[in-house]
Copies of this chain bind each other. A is one copy, B any other.
Amino acid sequence: MSIALESALPHARDHRDDDLQDLFTLLRQPSISAQNIGVQECAALEEALLQDAGFTTRRLTAPGHPVILGEWLEAPGKPTVLFYGHYDVQPPDPLDLWLSDPFTPTVRDGRIYARGVADNKAQHFSHIAAVRHWLRANGSLPCNVKIMLEGEEEVGSPHLDTVVAANKELLAADLVYTSDGPVTDDRYPEIVFGVRGDLYVELFATGANRDLHSGHWGGVAPNPILALARLLTTMIDKQNHVTIEGFYDNVRQPTPGALAAIEKLPFDTAATIAGIGLTEMVPPTERSYAERVMFQPTLSPAGIIGGYTGPGSKTVLPAKASMKIDMRLVPDQTPDEIFAKVRAHVERYGEGITIERSDGGMLPSFTPVEHPLGDVVRAALRAGFGAEPVSVPSAGGSLPDSVWTQTLGLPSFLVPYGAPEQANHSPNESYRVERLWQGIETSIHLLDLLGDASYLEM
């Protein structure tokens, strides 16, 4: 343990009341991006907090809510960490389900209750507090630190990629470190190394120019529901293999390290499947649940509607029907490439069916579990939480993580400090006070470990 670390940790432990008060100041400020309530005021509070901690701050030119960059760059030749967080929060509705006011932070039973405390104010605050304690105890940092805070995460980060792409030099770093979301298992700190991408499309099937009497036209005029069903079954075979030409062409196989990490996950597949009321997965069952949701792309209908759907019967041949399809992509698939392949398939096999892309989709993102900076992050978590972290090679879901790995070309680590029960986006969102202290100490350890010169040679 370095001497500087030996000063920073006690400083943090001796000033917990100050940290709590500063976090509460952030929490008292509503910052609801979807409703544009208090966002500017919260951005100003964040800037003041960063400056008080020792950062210089600037705002990055962005079309939406303020994007703040805090910098402390006085460790030449040392690694640079870029922290990412967001100061906007979800709307607090429904208000009547809150036991205390969502913008009056309240501690009950060791938990802080407030909208946005877990998602994401306490988590990015942990990094700011770590820097402050280290600087107050030692006067300088062992590495360079950048922290970027945006105010549109809860509305889908519509400008994040644009802002990052326009500021590559300012955001240059050795790694991106994001504390957001909860860990999967409360007993273990967790590092997520990647996410799947996604693509969402809608198929529109058309038959006659109006709904028809099924006694006069059923089985004689085209049936759009049948057309969609037929097309869908040409896209996925009975083993749930996607049969669209070229769909798997760019799928990168998991590394041995990733497969080994999956084996070590404290994940009870049988219990999880039982929890959703099932006894088994659908085929192919020779691969584990984790391997499938992390490293296999999927194509899954998310919604369908057509014809008469009310109570009882209506003898109609519908003129149209539509189906939404959700796809999850893995490295090195891209939404553009997959959309072109799906569209070609629809044009070939889907007579009377058109396809539309619901949005741009997300690129998959990938940082190898074998990356040497992964060991740094692991060590920091081990020290801060006092437990061996688990390495999750990929989240099954999708996040705009490719902005770091592809736009900036950096390794990116998602390191949730929160607990599973924190109720993100729901009434009575909360954050365990103990996790606030553990998170601050983890970030302190991270600064220390990054300062170790040996990591420069990776």
Interface residues of A (CB under 8 A from B): 196, 198, 200, 207-210, 212-223, 225-226, 228-230, 232-233, 236, 238, 240, 273, 276-278, 281-282, 289, 292-293, 296, 298-309, 312-318, 321-324, 326, 328, 358-359, 395-398
Complex Cα gap A299–B369 (Å): 54
The distance from the CB of A210 to the nearest CB of chain B, in whole angstroms, is: 7
Choice from B215, B292, B313, B322 contacting A219 with Cβ under 8 Å: B292
A210's nearest neighbour on chain B, judged by CB, is: B276
Residues B302 and A220 in contact, CB atoms below 8 Å apart: no
A contact patch SS: mixed
Given A221-B278, A289-B220, A314-B306 contact (CB < 8 Å): no
Complex Cα gap A230–B210 (Å): 26
Residues A359 and B304 in contact, CB atoms below 8 Å apart: no
Residues A220 and B282 in contact, CB atoms below 8 Å apart: yes
Complex Cα gap A396–B34 (Å): 54
Residues B317 and A302 in contact, CB atoms below 8 Å apart: yes
Residues A215 and B302 in contact, CB atoms below 8 Å apart: no
| A396 / chain B contacts, CB cutoff of 8 Å | 213, 215-216
The distance from the CB of A387 to the nearest CB of chain B, in whole angstroms, is: 24
| A238 / chain B contacts, CB cutoff of 8 Å | 230
Residues B304 and A306 in contact, CB atoms below 8 Å apart: yes
Choice from B209, B240, B305, B398 contacting A276 with Cβ under 8 Å: B209
Choice from B236, B276, B315 contacting A198 with Cβ under 8 Å: B315
The distance from the CB of A440 to the nearest CB of chain B, in whole angstroms, is: 30
Specify how many copies of this chain sit in the oligomer.
2
The distance from the CB of A332 to the nearest CB of chain B, in whole angstroms, is: 19
The distance from the CB of A89 to the nearest CB of chain B, in whole angstroms, is: 21
Complex Cα gap A276–B216 (Å): 12
Given A303-B316, A309-B304, A316-B303, A240-B225 contact (CB < 8 Å): no
The distance from the CB of A327 to the nearest CB of chain B, in whole angstroms, is: 8
The distance from the CB of A278 to the nearest CB of chain B, in whole angstroms, is: 6
| A326 / chain B contacts, CB cutoff of 8 Å | 214, 218, 313, 315-317
The distance from the CB of A194 to the nearest CB of chain B, in whole angstroms, is: 13
Complex Cα gap A228–B233 (Å): 10
Residues B313 and A200 in contact, CB atoms below 8 Å apart: yes
| A218 / chain B contacts, CB cutoff of 8 Å | 298, 300, 302, 326, 328
| A289 / chain B contacts, CB cutoff of 8 Å | 220
Given A300-B214, A396-B216, A221-B314 contact (CB < 8 Å): no
| A209 / chain B contacts, CB cutoff of 8 Å | 276-278
| A317 / chain B contacts, CB cutoff of 8 Å | 300, 302, 326
Residues A324 and B313 in contact, CB atoms below 8 Å apart: yes
Given A225-B323, A282-B222, A215-B398 contact (CB < 8 Å): yes
The distance from the CB of A60 to the nearest CB of chain B, in whole angstroms, is: 28
| A309 / chain B contacts, CB cutoff of 8 Å | 303-305, 322, 324
Residues B219 and A328 in contact, CB atoms below 8 Å apart: yes
Complex Cα gap A230–B277 (Å): 22
Complex Cα gap A228–B229 (Å): 8
Given A208-B277, A220-B282, A303-B298 contact (CB < 8 Å): no
Complex Cα gap A287–B266 (Å): 63
Complex Cα gap A324–B314 (Å): 9
The distance from the CB of A48 to the nearest CB of chain B, in whole angstroms, is: 37
The distance from the CB of A196 to the nearest CB of chain B, in whole angstroms, is: 6
Residues A276 and B307 in contact, CB atoms below 8 Å apart: no
| A273 / chain B contacts, CB cutoff of 8 Å | 221
Complex Cα gap A293–B298 (Å): 41
The distance from the CB of A286 to the nearest CB of chain B, in whole angstroms, is: 13
| A359 / chain B contacts, CB cutoff of 8 Å | 312-313
Given A278-B221, A318-B302, A214-B307 contact (CB < 8 Å): no
Complex Cα gap A397–B220 (Å): 13
A217's nearest neighbour on chain B, judged by CB, is: B276
